[in-house]
Structure 1
Amino acid sequence: MTPQDLLIALRAQNPLVQCITNYVAMNVAANVVLAAGASPAMVHASEEIADFTPICGALTINIGTLSAPWLASMTAAATCARTNNIPWVLDPVAHFISDYRKSAAQALLAERPTILRGNASEILALAGEAGAGKGVDSGDSVDAAQGAAKALAAQFGTVVAITGPVDYLTDGDREAHLSGGSPLMPQVTALGCSQTALMGAYAASGPAFDAALAALAHFKVAGTAAAKLANGPGSFQMHFLDALAATQPGDLVQAIT
């Protein structure tokens, strides 16, 4: 499916997306998914997974503020999604900063996410390569992590998206690059996390590679539009939500290089 077709489908279907994400990102991620045209649900209690996850169009998991109860819910939800053929997206935030987080990311990766999204340092480290990440921030270029992305895609049968100034997407065979956005985007907390949530919305509406491509393009196009109106990070966030809602299907091709 083309990005245009996917955005039309997303808005027509208004898919329900379960977002198990971090405390910092919940509000931003929910608003991003709503602005794009889907329906977010920030349901994370392990007691609800068996009932709720199977009725969702997609699941997204972000390990930003990790704890043992949350990890149990994430693992149960990922298993439930895989068992029920529900697409799910993994965002292994800063998984290299502690042994606990590394173990959690590897356990979730073993559940074979439909889409894996991270910055260059996260993707490099997940593939067992040395990187220069510092906390949640990438210290590596997107180009440097392309080989790691292809290896992860081949090993786990997943689509891998590396986000940065120019995004890179691969399923091990196909690949794409996307440009646009704004330097203000990294100055607004949790926008990267909300990109993961948006990928879930698109994954509920079409094939994984196409969905990830459309979600990346939507972010780039909206970021470019918002930057023209913003005076700084605060006003950028407001204009970015408006731009996500205003983006038309035909606009998405602008970001794909």
Structure 2
Amino acid sequence: MTTSISGLFDQVRKKKPLVHQLTNFVTVNDCANATLAIGGSPIMTSSPKEVGDMVKLAQALVLNFGTIDDRSLEAMEIAGKTANDLHIPVIMDPVGVGSTPYRTEKAMELLGKVTVQVIRGNASEIHRLMGGDIVTRGVDSGELSISNAELALLAARKLNSVVVVSGAKDAVSDPSRTSIIDNGYPLLTKVTGTGCMATALIGAFCGITEDHYSAAIAGISTMSLSGELAAKTLKENEGTGTYRTRIIDAISKMDKSIWENEVNIHEEVAL
């Protein structure tokens, strides 16, 4: 499995997929830079009047709920339906779902209108998207009684999508298998937008392969591993601002060799 995934790193830099991202104004610049760093090409058009035309040019579409409003939701629906019609993969990031009734209702409503190939969120967001009890604190994850791996599998089966649950151990699942990635660094939680960047990276890999399970693993593991490698370069007097820059540096240097040597991943076949 790792050999087939590691081959995606050369492909993404060779093919330079255009990733159309309807994302939030807090992290839009970092998402664009992360996409560029891995080898993709970002476009962040958000007007309902042009998203339909723009997504026709893209190889992947990312829908990020970070700072939603009625206008952005209209744009997401137009873009998502256009992507579905053209068989362009859609990646959803349900940021903060569970924190307010409006956000939760609109996320579920969008899932009823747009077919999504990959969903990435923290445990509480994914749990709430499935209809579970509210455990979200703002955009941060609350505590659940099941593991990320168990949650990812349940969600993949219920939502009929590849599901990525981010956390201390990231889990990626489709209805028949689950991969657990044990990389990362605690300081990642102190830099805003690392989850959004992970979703952007998943979008870049989905833009070059129809194997969305492998693309999701490549994207989320790139983020976790880059956070881990970036932390190793920090000096004693350097903090989160430097760390943010080093994360993007690490993404830009990520390749097949580094990934194969550093990633800590194992796969479980679901029953």
Shorter chain as normaliser: what TM range? over 0.9
Alignment of 1:53-132 (within 5 A): 53-110=55-112, 111-132=114-135
CA shift for structure 1 position 238: 1.1
Q: Secondary structure at the match of 2:120?
A: strand
CA shift for structure 1 position 129: 1.5
Per-residue CA distance 1:73-93 (angstroms, 9 max, x = gap): 011111111111000100111
- 1:121, 1:145 within 8 Å by CA — same for their partners in 2? no
- Which residue matches 2:221? 217
- Which residue matches 2:186? 183
Which one of 2, 15, 22 corresponds to residue 17 of structure 2?
Answer: 15
Per-residue CA distance 1:182-219 (angstroms, 9 max, x = gap): 11111111111111111100000111001001111211
TM-score, normalising length: structure 2: 0.90
Q: Quick one: which amino acid aligns to residue 228 of structure 1?
A: K
CA shift for structure 1 position 256: 1.6
Q: Which moved more, 1:57-66 or 1:106-115?
A: 106-115
CA shift for structure 1 position 242: 0.8
Structure 2: distance between partners of 1:142 and 1:5: 36
Structure 2: distance between partners of 1:64 and 1:49: 18
1:164 aligns with 2:161: no
Q: Which moved more, 1:19-28 or 1:135-144?
A: 135-144
- Which residue matches 2:269? none
Structure 1: distance between partners of 2:256 and 2:241: 27
Structure 2: distance between partners of 1:229 and 1:142: 35
- 2:99, 2:134 within 8 Å by CA — same for their partners in 1? no
1:247 aligns with 2:265: no
- 1:142, 1:162 within 8 Å by CA — same for their partners in 2? no
Per-residue CA distance 1:100-131 (angstroms, 9 max, x = gap): 11111002222221100000000111111124
Q: How many residues are aligned here? A: 257
Structure 2: distance between partners of 1:131 and 1:114: 24
1:174 aligns with 2:177: yes
Change (3 A) 1:238 1:142: farther
Task: Return 5+ residue gaps in structure 2 as ranges.
Answer: 267-271
1:228 aligns with 2:235: no
Give the alignment's Cα RMSD to 1 decimal.
1.5
Change (3 A) 1:170 1:255: same
Structure 1: distance between partners of 2:165 and 2:179: 11
Q: Which moved more, 1:142-151 or 1:238-247?
A: 142-151
Q: Secondary structure at the match of 1:17?
A: strand
CA shift for structure 1 position 145: 4.7
Structure 2: distance between partners of 1:23 and 1:142: 33
CA shift for structure 1 position 140: 2.1
CA shift for structure 1 position 156: 3.1
- 1:142, 1:164 within 8 Å by CA — same for their partners in 2? no
Which one of 47, 50, 53 corresponds to residue 51 of structure 1?
Answer: 53
Change (3 A) 1:168 1:131: farther
Q: Which moved more, 1:143-152 or 1:71-80?
A: 143-152
CA shift for structure 1 position 180: 1.3
- 1:120, 1:142 within 8 Å by CA — same for their partners in 2? no
Structure 1: distance between partners of 2:203 and 2:104: 23
Q: Quick one: which amino acid aligns to residue 64 of structure 2?
A: N
Structure 1: distance between partners of 2:55 and 2:75: 11
Aligned-residue sequence identity (percent) comes to: 33
CA shift for structure 1 position 141: 5.1
